Amino acid sequence: MTEKNRMNLATISKFREFGLLGFIVLLTIVIQFLNPAFLTLGNLTDLIKNTAILSILALGMMLVLITRGIDLSIGATLALSGMIAALTVSAYPDLHPLLAILIGILVGVVCGVVLGFLVSKVGILPIIASLGLMNAFRGLTFWVGGGEWISAYQMPSSFKNIATSSFLGINTLVIIAIIIFLYFYYFVNNTITGRQIYALGSNPDSAKISGINSHKIYMIVYTMMGGLSGLAGVLWVSKFASAQGNTASGYELTVIAACILGGVSINGGVGKVTGVLLGAVLLGVLDNGLPLIDVSPFWQMGIEGAIILVAVLFNTIVKKTVEKNNRLRRVI
């Protein structure tokens, strides 16, 4: 009985990821069938490169969601730090690109700390707090940019190279994403803080009894999210060689969608790094593949929405069935 039970649960959680993987493969086959240009080295490189920023943000968002929170301000944070980093490099072209990245991260961290403070200390619901900050940060971005864009020619090539250069034949963006992925994998699975994030989301009351400092965890989670948004902001601006006030407007929804597709529960406690990565890849495949097979751009949003809704319902129904089966198997 116990053995069976365990098998079942393990299978389910794997099943979700395999299901996702299966869906990606299926989608790939369909797209490939309709347009053979899909599975080419060049296109796959593009796909991975374009998914890099999304997956970086999705990993951060995963932690936020695990603590039963949400962060809608990341698009604005991304724009703000990208804008400030771009302004800095355009004023000081000799600045080392690493420093530019650091500036971006720093701005992001400050934004994250503000949100973390509002959520953990003041006790505002994350969705409200981040909505408010989203407005404020977006306004700030327009303000510091003075309505202007920072364009390619104003950026030193060292800065633009962050996104275009490669190391060992792999694009830097992808390398950064991989490093962050590996770090997160280690962080959430093998460090105490990482596990405490899950514990807090799984049962906030027990967490208190276990002596977990929930304020600290919220601060860490939102600060990390902010830092990652800041990093993503620099990468974004470097990649597109342009910083605008409305950069990544509404991007937070895509990020949250990637998490949800990846099986992160908004009720907290559940979410796997690999799942989130798959979720981001799925969206990447859709973004890359739909134009290739001539799907009207106006249908993309609807298709994306439908897929997300189906994924959410599918997760819930599977979970419900498993619970019922478990109960059925109990002998009275």
Task: Show contacts with another protein in window 105-144 (CB under 8 A).
Answer: 118, 122-125, 127-129, 131-143
DSSP H helix total and E strand total for the chain: 13, 2
In which element (H, E) is residue 296 found?
none
262 closest CA partner among 54, 9, 42: 54
Per-residue CA distances from 149 to 165, 231, 244 (Å):
23, 19, 5
Which amino acid is present at 182?
L
Select from 90-98, 177-185, 187-195, 217-225 the region that touches another protein (CB under 8 A). 187-195
| Residue 21 touches another protein, criterion: CB under 8 A | no
Q: Going residue by residue from 275 to 294, which x/- string records binding to another protein, judged by CB under 8 A?
A: ------------xx--xx-x
Per-residue CA distances from 251 to 2, 73, 184, 258, 279 (Å):
44, 10, 21, 11, 15
Task: Show contacts with another protein in window 199-218 (CB under 8 A).
Answer: 199, 201-203, 205-212
In which element (H, E) is residue 294 found?
none
Task: Show contacts with another protein in window 225-244 (CB under 8 A).
Answer: 236, 240-242, 244
Size of the site for another protein (CB under 8 A): 116
Exactly one of 96, 148, 170, 182 binds another protein (CB under 8 A); that residue is 148
DSSP calls for 186-220 = HHHHHSHHHHHHHHHHH-HHHHHHTT--HHHHHHH
Task: Show contacts with another protein in window 153-182 (CB under 8 A).
Answer: 153-154, 164
Select from 55-63, 92-100, 225-233, 250-258 the region that touches another protein (CB under 8 A). 250-258
Q: Enumerate residues 6+ apart whose C-beta is below 8 A from 114.
A: 133
Q: Going residue by residue from 88 to 107, which x/- string records binding to another protein, judged by CB under 8 A?
A: --------------------
- Measured from the CB of residue 212, what is the shortest distance to another protein in angstroms? 8
Select from 85-93, 101-109, 147-155, 274-282 the region that touches another protein (CB under 8 A). 147-155
In which element (H, E) is residue 166 found?
strand 166-167
Exactly one of 195, 214, 216, 318 binds another protein (CB under 8 A); that residue is 195
Select 207 or 282, whichever has its Cβ closest to another protein: 207
C-alpha span between 298 and 296 (Å, rounded) = 5
C-alpha span between 113 and 89 (Å, rounded) = 24
- Measured from the CB of residue 91, what is the shortest distance to another protein in angstroms? 14
C-alpha span between 86 and 238 (Å, rounded) = 8
| Residue 41 touches another protein, criterion: CB under 8 A | no
CA-based radius of gyration for the chain: 21
Exactly one of 42, 91, 94, 168 binds another protein (CB under 8 A); that residue is 42
Select from 20-28, 38-46, 102-110, 221-229 the region that touches another protein (CB under 8 A). 38-46
| Residue 26 touches another protein, criterion: CB under 8 A | no
- Measured from the CB of residue 231, what is the shortest distance to another protein in angstroms? 16
Exactly one of 93, 215, 306, 321 binds another protein (CB under 8 A); that residue is 306
78 closest CA partner among 97, 115, 53: 53
Q: Enumerate residues 6+ apart whose C-beta is below 8 A from 131.
A: 72, 73
Q: Enumerate residues 6+ apart whose C-beta is below 8 A from 187.
A: 193, 194
- Measured from the CB of residue 330, what is the shortest distance to another protein in angstroms? 4
| Residue 332 touches another protein, criterion: CB under 8 A | yes
